[in-house]
Amino acid sequence: MPSSRPAAAEVRADFLVIGAGLAGLSYALRVAEHGDVVVLCKGAVTQSNTAWAQGGIAAVWDDQDSIEAHVEDTLEAGAFLARREDVEAILAEGPAAVRRLIELGVKFSRREDEEGYDLTREGGHHARRILHHGDTTGWEIQRAIVAAAEAHPRIRLIDDQVAIDLITQRKCMRHLAKRRLGLRGPEVEEIYGPGGPEGWMPGRRDRCLGAYVLDVPSGRVRVFSAPVTLLATGGSGKLYRFTSNPDLATGDGMAMAYRAGAVLANLEFVQFHPTCLYHPSPEAKSFLITEAVRGEGGILRLPDGTPFMDDVHPMGSLAPRDVTARAIDAQIKRHGLEFVHLDVSHREPEFVRRRFPAIHQKLMGLGIDMTREPIPVVPAAHYFCGGVKVDGHGRTQIDGLLAAGEVACTGLHGANRLASNSLLEAAVVGERAARTALDAHAAARDIAPADVPSWDAGAARDADELVVVAHTWDEIRRLMWNYVGIVRTDRRLARALRRVALIRNEIRTYYWDFKVTRDLIEVRNLALLAELVIRSSLGRRESRGLHYNSNHPETDDVGWRRDTLLRREW
């Protein structure tokens, strides 16, 4: 599909950012002090995963708390898969990251006496260390950081841009092969492998040159070129039938990085948030009931009122998310239920309305008064603890390519994310990646710019049966929910792998025959990521954190206290 004719990049910048959430914009604000920045937003700039975060950001902010205690809670919640030194380094920078957000204008909720911030507690935390803005923390952070980015003269935000693939030196070599032999992309790889006829020198690192990007309003594919590219595309909750994520969370960054040759890690650890609202109304789609409801005394009950978490975990209804989601799933299956209840009606009504204003208003619109009755909830796909493998400074295995936020696997979360550590990680690693980018940009000045082929649709035509894409998307999500969900088995995983292999073959043919659209790009990425999640899950022969396989129910620290790594070349 990319043209064989070398052409100047249509858009050049010093720094390219794909994704406009907290990680991407924190990074952009920092590097913009040293060069021009282009930030690509998949939808509107306000529609990132960050904006959907309700609970808050975890950071040590009280004299009664400590970094050491936060580290221990994080390691325990993550089933001790994370490396202590990585966790310590990231969490130690948490308070400074929060201060930067406050300086940008984020208004965290204060105590009634106005003497300090109103710190709350969530599942897995043994201390109150969650700063929040009511129950709309993500929206408040996104508001402030977007305003700062829009006001910066060297940052250009572009809406409705869907990245298709990263451009690397190796990819450019494949395009030369296409020109020489007159082959389509799949045929080049079938004959010569991922390196093309030139191959690739053993031990030589590839370099990222930018990305091919679909401008949705015009349907045109453009080339964005930069010495340094940051992936900040978020996760892939839409891989599952039920999710708390917005529609844009389709794993684009992970899929692009894998196709480009980066290493992905720990994709089997998909976090299912225990408490998504269960309601038939379309208005309730993906509506999350924040972890903070449990932190403020919410109790998980069966429909008859019986609490069930005290026999499951010492922290009861405040247990970590992996434990809580499995317990809810078990009760639903054991009793043939559609949902369980989250009950905070024993708290003072005025406190509930003041602490959770957005949730209270939303539920009242659906006929549920959380101050007087319990909330029907179910688990839903929420967060990827794995992703593009990076060090603590956002570096991937490809020169000029960085990653931060949910798309990246820094090692902080291990096998399960501690509540509200996601915004913390995005802010800290976004800042750290910026420092890395400045060094990478300086080093790239001595490298001659490569000729980047422009995009050419070739003989691709407009799709004549869009129902194929819609059906495939639905099939993938149902397959993943039923076979690769909260509880897994070897048989289900093997069945899922066979089916998703057929789906990927169908999509591959469709992709090369028809012009790219947002839906086609997304379903291509979802199918690839589905296969990678399944392969990672089959590879881990134990149960740990978010990965529970009833054929291997025990945790094996001797054989499996290590990362699961995937790379295209392997």
Strands 2-7 and 452-455, by their bridges, are antiparallel
* Nearest alpha-carbon partner for 391 in 375, 404, 376: 404
157: part of which helix (H) or strand (E)?
Answer: strand 155-158
HEC sequence for 255-300: HHHHHHCCCEECCCCEEEEEEEECCCCHHHCCCECCCHHHHCCCEE
For the record, the structure tokens of 384 come out as: 């990827």
Side-chain-facing half-sphere of 370: CA atoms under 13 Å? 31
Helix axes 518-539, 252-260, angle to 10 degrees: 70
At 494, phi and psi to the nearest 5? -65, -40
Strands 228-231 and 264-265, by their bridges, are unpaired
CB 276 within 8 A of CB 287: yes
| Residues carrying an active site annotation | 321
Burial of 476 (0-12, 13-18, 19+ CB in 10 A): buried
CB 245 within 8 A of CB 380: no
Round to whole Å and give the CA distance between 444 and 12.
Answer: 14
CB 191 within 8 A of CB 178: no
Edge to edge, the sheet with strand 270-277 lists: 270-277, 375-384, 340-343, 299-301
Query: Which region, left, alpha or beta, applies to residue 88 given φ > 0 means left and ψ of -120 to 50 means alpha?
Result: alpha
Edge to edge, the sheet with strand 408-409 lists: 408-409, 387-389, 264-265, 565-566
Edge to edge, the sheet with strand 11-12 lists: 11-12, 220-225, 208-215, 161-168
Round to whole Å and give the CA distance between 312 and 529.
Answer: 32
Residue bearing tokens 């969370």: 249
- Per DSSP, helices labelled H in 80-136 are 84-92, 94-104
